[in-house]
A = this chain, B = another copy of it.
């Protein structure tokens, strides 16, 4: 078993943080995204989407998509639970996890890839959309600060995958100058708390 990884992209970090929280060790193999190795024909045999991370199982199965990989390990190693503790809680955690993906990670990723040189020639870029998504991310961050007034973590009383996604999104926002504002006290407190966990270094 191994994980095809990149130290600079946000989605591979989500898996590393998730596994660190669970204390699971899996060998990582770096893929050179700077030279677009992930977009070449050999890597696309593993994942036709050309994205990272990808988990390779011992039977040769490839599992791509961050949350699919996380769910696989959650089922293999349920403790500590990061996807919820019962039927209703798992639905609530998935709701918050998806809000972090659609409201935070996606606009932050677009703010980068729709404009940055790194993606020139790799995708059809629309720089105006990068600007709009930056604004959308900033609006969402302001809303999220209010939502965190009554609880320590994104989905409630426990640290979950929703915190992993939000942390990796927020930290990746720096490259596009998207950040938590000093007056956003709840989000500042949350970010300090999740960043001080050992998993944040993964």
Contact = CB atoms under 8 A, between A and B. Distances in A.
A37 interface: no
A57 B88 contact: yes
A178 interface: no
Nearest to A103: B49
Interface of A: 48-49, 55, 57, 61, 63-65, 67-69, 71-72, 75-76, 87-88, 90-92, 94-95, 98-99, 102-103, 114, 124, 126, 128-129, 132, 135-136, 143, 147
A44 to B, nearest CB: 10
6 contacts: A49-B102, A65-B94, A65-B95, A69-B91, A71-B90, A124-B132
Contacts of A91: 55, 63, 68-69, 71-72
Given A48-B147, A63-B92, A72 B87 contact: yes
A87 B99 CA distance: 25
